[in-house]
Amino acid sequence: SDGKTSPSFCSARSHRPCAGVKTEIVVNVGGVRQVFYSDNLNQYPETRLAELLNCLSGGYDSIFSLCDDYDPGKREFYFDRDPDAFKCIIDVYYFGEIHMKKGICPICFKNEMEFWKVDLKFLDDCCKTHLSEKKEELEEIARRVQLILDDLGVDASESRWKRCQKYIWKFLEKPESSYPARVIAVLSFLFILISSVVMCVGTIPDMQVLDAEGNRVEHPTLDSIETACIGWFTMEYVLRLISSPNKLHFALSFMNIVDVLAILPFYVSLTLTHLGAKLMELSNVQQAVQALRIMRVARIFKLARHSSGLQTLTYALKRSFKELGLLLMYLAVGIFVFSALGYTMEQSHPDTLFKSIPQSFWWAIITMTTVGYGDIYPKTTLGKLNAAISFLCGVIAIALPIHPIINNFVRYYNKQRVLETAAKHELELMELNSAEGKAASSKSELRDLASEGKEGPFYSSRLKVSHSDTFIHLLSEEKHYRTRLQSCK
């Protein structure tokens, strides 16, 4: 009467569908009732729903191996699974592909697909990308948790030198591990700042003194401060290199290369000052030393080791190479076009400042980037009009790729905060599960002692010790817990 084709069975006892009859099955997933027909399900015979068509002939053992419950009166299969994910998964029977709805945890959705025995190849490419990103996040969380556990754990089988290496590495690389490590990180940060300030102050003529040849050199006090800072940087780098678990990876790391570039010029300059005079002329030695001292600018990049904001900015720029390339391409095209037009339009003026197209490149750069030094400028009407257009085009060309770069920065920054919070949450869950395990073992021990019927001073003292020392009532038994699927959502 309702217009649906009711299932026909050759035998009510065997529940076996007749051949050639269009069969339907009723599935109840998390309170959501769905009706499926055999012609749809048989397209993918390896899936769980297709297996339900033939499980009735195998008896209740076969039925309950596939579902959580079964109502023989209604011939309805019950599953305690996520209904939202199920609504997305059944699209494969009608459209041949699956799209994951927004708001569903990708990892939980993958587990649901595995439960319903639907291959991941039916998942759309955009959803696969989202799933791979979530997998990378979980791997990063697992890596962070493992690092924290490695820091907390002590392997008794390790030698004293290995334990000392781990302690030094944690002391220098992980300021959050202890208060002394935090103090060392602050000191390292201050040494970087002091060294950078000394480098800048040393270039002020009033802060310089004359040497025996009458040349201006840095004040001896500033040299002493510089030497102390380099000594700290050298000791820090050597200790980190010695305690590093992977010395090759440590040496090739970008930030460690920056550390070497910040230290090396001091020792090379010192070597050239004392030994270079015997090998080359004094003027050449002084020029080489001056060039090496410029490399001290690299030490300002050491601040990135202690600043998560600078690290986030570096990562955002690395992820934005495409946008930066577009920006440079736009500017390059505009510079070439407007410099050529400016040179051509300014040739009619007798006092033109545009002597050649390559010289006009400089004017186009400072105009399109809205700097405008004023050392070169157009004097004709057409030249001024060309300058106005180049200015507007430069603003547009710079503004277009900026938004994706900002989005990359914000996305990565928020992602790092989420990963840190998730890693701490995982550790808290591990501690809670460990405490609950101890409490459960203590309860079972008390029940065993009570069942033995032992009485007397020995039993009462043991019971008191067990209850006061090991049994901690952490959570009430009446508290309702969220499932892992609900927590992910």
The enclosing domain of 79 has a CATH number of: 3.30.710.10
Amino acid at 252: L
Q: Which of 410, 430, 450 is the last residue of a domain?
A: 430
Indicate the number of domains in the chain.
3
* Neighbouring-strand partners of residue 34: 27
What pLDDT is stored for residue 443 in this prediction? 59
- How far is the C-alpha of 101 from the C-alpha of 89, rounded, in Å? 10
Q: Are strands 9-11 and 69-71 parallel, antiparallel or unpaired?
A: unpaired
- How far is the C-alpha of 144 from the C-alpha of 427, rounded, in Å? 10
Same domain for 213 and 283? yes
Helix axes of 282-294 and 254-275: crossing angle, nearest 10 degrees: 160
Residue 17 domain-assigned?
no
What is the percent of the chain with per-residue pLDDT over 90, rounded to a whole number?
A: 16
Residue 96 in 3-state DSSP? coil
Same domain for 300 and 319? no
Give me 320's structure tokens: 């934005």
- Give per-residue pLDDT as tens, 141-192: 777 777 666 666 555 566 788 888 888 888 888 777 788 888 888 898 888 8
> What is the residue-averaged pLDDT of the chain?
77
Residue 458 domain-assigned?
no
φ, ψ dihedrals at 248, nearest 5°: -65, -45
- Give the pLDDT band (50/70/90) at residue 481: very low
φ, ψ dihedrals at 217, nearest 5°: -130, 170
Same domain for 206 and 291? yes
Same domain for 179 and 278? yes
Own/partner contacts of 427-430, CB < 8 Å, gap of 24 or more, are: 427/145, 427/148, 430/145
Residue 14 domain-assigned?
no
Of the two residues 291 and 130, the one the predictor is more confident about is 130
DSSP state letters, 238-270: HHHHHH-S-HHHHHHSHHHHHHHHHHHHHHHHH
Residue 473 domain-assigned?
no
Residue 208 domain-assigned?
yes
DSSP assignment letter at 156? T
What pLDDT is stored for residue 132 in this prediction? 83
What pLDDT is stored for residue 467 in this prediction? 35
φ, ψ dihedrals at 214, nearest 5°: 90, 10
Give me 442's structure tokens: 């203590």
What pLDDT is stored for residue 80 in this prediction? 92
Same domain for 189 and 205? yes
Give me 155's structure tokens: 């392997």
- Give the pLDDT band (50/70/90) at residue 411: confident
Same domain for 168 and 302? yes
Same domain for 260 and 318? no
**Whether pTM exceeds 0.75:** no
- Give per-residue pLDDT as tens, 43-100: 898 999 888 888 877 778 888 888 999 888 888 999 999 999 999 999 998 888 898 8
Work out the average pLDDT over 273-283: 58
DSSP assignment letter at 214? S
Give me 230's structure tokens: 């380099």
Work out the average pLDDT over 211-218: 74
Residue 388 lies in domain: 311-430
Same domain for 293 and 319? no
Same domain for 137 and 183? no
Same domain for 284 and 298? yes
Q: Which of 379, 404, 430 is the last residue of a domain?
A: 430
Residue 287 domain-assigned?
yes
What pLDDT is stored for residue 341 in this prediction? 93
Same domain for 191 and 133? no
262 exposure class (CB count in 10 Å sphere: 0-12, 13-18, 19+): buried
DSSP state letters, 315-368: HHHHHTHHHHHHHHHHHHHHHHHHHHHHHHHGGGSTT-S---HHHHHHHHHHHH
Which CATH number is 401's domain given?
Answer: 1.10.287.70
Amino acid at 104: I
Which among 401, 331, 329 is positioned nearest to 368, based on CA atoms? 331
- How far is the C-alpha of 226 from the C-alpha of 232, rounded, in Å? 10
- Give per-residue pLDDT as tens, 425-473: 777 777 777 776 766 666 565 566 455 544 444 434 333 333 333 333 3
Which CATH number is 196's domain given?
Answer: 1.20.120
Residue 446 domain-assigned?
no
- Give per-residue pLDDT as tens, 303-356: 766 676 777 777 778 888 888 888 889 899 999 999 999 999 998 888 888 999
Same domain for 110 and 196? no
- How far is the C-alpha of 469 from the C-alpha of 165, rounded, in Å? 36
Q: Which of 280, 306, 332 is the last residue of a domain?
A: 306
Give me 466's structure tokens: 């067990």
Residue 455 domain-assigned?
no
